[in-house]
Amino acid sequence: MNTELLAKIEATSFSGKRRLVALVGAPASGKSTLATALAEGNDTIQVVPMDGFHLSNEILSERGLLGRKGAPNTFDSAGFVHLVKRLKTEDDVVFPLFDRTRDLSIAGAGVLRPETTTIIVEGNYLMLDQPHWRDLAPLWDLSVQIDVPLDVLRQRLLQRWADHGCEPAKAAEKTDSNDLPNATFVLENSLPCDVVLSDNQILRASQPAQPPISKV
């Protein structure tokens, strides 16, 4: 599957200095894992996560949004759009990364390599049809969605919180009050992607308004 998707990516034409690929999906859909696998061993492919644009916990607390961390309005969406535009046109670009263990973003922790010709941007809201976020859609040369059923996502999210030391009740609270609402919001409010990757790793063409992309 990775080989087929990689071939699809490398066959996609692009304008600007490099190819931008959006890898989008709900929380725990496997975006980071797939993006890492696609870039592994290939110096011309680099992964840029959206998560570096999380607002700090201090800002979220001030705005009463800490319990909804990960929702669209808990990111610096305008800053993220600006970064994506720079990735397409500029040579010397640095970007923030998110440290999940410390639960915070680190400014300037990532840097664009000179040999990079393809950037895989991974995140929940890359095709979101909402203010600021919808400005991203025209920037992608290829968009790929990972489609995972909500019941599968819930089990993965529960396990994720358990791995971070949460007791079962706390893991369920975080999952059901925040993560799953965010996942549902992604599914219900995103623009169609060029390619849809199902949970069983089978690629199929989506049916966007433009002519459909052939199957990988």
| pLDDT tens for each residue of the chain, 216 residues long | 578 899 999 999 998 899 999 999 988 888 989 999 999 989 999 999 999 999 999 999 999 999 899 999 999 999 999 999 999 999 999 999 999 888 899 999 999 999 999 999 999 999 999 999 999 999 999 999 999 888 888 889 888 888 888 888 888 888 888 888 988 888 899 999 999 987 655 344 334 433 334 333
* CA distance linking residue 51 with residue 31, whole number of Å: 12
- pLDDT reported for residue 212: 36
- pTM summary value: 0.87
Helix (H, G, I), strand (E, B) or coil at 202: coil
- pLDDT reported for residue 161: 84
Q: In this structure, which amino acid lies at residue 125?
A: Y
- pLDDT reported for residue 175: 86
Residue 29 is encoded by which pair of tokens?
Answer: 């859909």
- pLDDT reported for residue 105: 94
Q: Are 22 and 125 in contact (CB under 8 A)?
A: no
Residue 88 is encoded by which pair of tokens?
Answer: 């397409």
Task: Tell me 127's DSSP state.
Answer: T
- pLDDT reported for residue 43: 92
Q: How far is CA 8 from the centre of its chain?
A: 19
